[in-house]
Amino acid sequence: METPNFKRGFRGYDSDAVDQAWAETDRQLSEANAANKELRLQINSLREQNTEWGNRLKYYEQIEKELRDALLSAQRIANQVKDDALIQAEALMESARSESETLLSEATRLSESKELEADTMLIEKRMEIVQLEEQIQGLTEQKTDLQTQVDQAIAYLEMAKALFSSEQSINKEP
């Protein structure tokens, strides 16, 4: 507001000029109060939006934590399954090898009439070994698939985080 410059009259300042300045000052003050009221409403609205975004952020952070926990759990389970499968496969292979060696030594001691039967048993055991090796291969492929799924889940988390960050930056722009 500008300071009014009043002309002097007979008994002080010109009363019309003072009344006019007073009315103008009152109008400007009313406009300033209205603008101030609108700005306060905008501030309150922005505070509400900020609270809402804060709640959303907490929600997304909780989801991210739960997904991380799920991924870690899945990875631990996958590692445990793999380790158990390898231990079981090793024990089975050792057992099959030991058994085949026993059968082989028995086959050499048996008479020639039993030699054909021993050869048949040896072939069956080798087939079991092949099946066990195929099972090991299948478990290894399952482990690879699980690792791929874990990697994909991590990628999805990073995409969600990027989307959330971009959504925040869009909402912050005037």
Please provide the DSSP assignment of 134-173 as one string. HHHHHHHHHHHHHHHHHHHHHHHHHHHHHHHHHHHHHHH-
pLDDT level of residue 109 (50, 70, 90 thresholds): confident
User: What integer is the mean pLDDT of 130-139?
Assistant: 93
Percentage, residues of the chain above pLDDT 70:
93
Q: Are 169 and 73 in contact (CB under 8 A)?
A: no
CA distance 119 to 114: 9
Q: Inform me whether the pLDDT recorded for 13 exceeds 80.
A: no
Closest CA to 103 of 115, 88, 91: 115
How many alpha carbons fall within 13 Å on the CB side of residue 103? Answer: 18
For the chain, the C-alpha Rg in angstroms (whole number) is 43
pLDDT tens profile 138-148: 999 999 999 99
Q: What is the pLDDT of residues 34-48, one digit of tens each?
A: 999 999 999 999 999
Find all residues with CB under 8 Å of 63, minimum gap 6, and list them.
160
Per-residue confidence band for 1, with pLDDT thresholds at 50, 70 and 90: low
Q: What is the pLDDT of residue 148?
A: 95
Q: For residues 167 and 84, give the distance between their C-alpha atoms in angstroms, rounded to a whole number.
A: 45
The owner of tokens 């090796």 is: 133
Higher per-residue pLDDT: 72 or 5: 72
Mean pLDDT of 147-166: 92
Q: 3-class DSSP state for residue 8?
A: strand
- Which residues on neighbouring strands pair with residue 9, listed in sequence order? 12
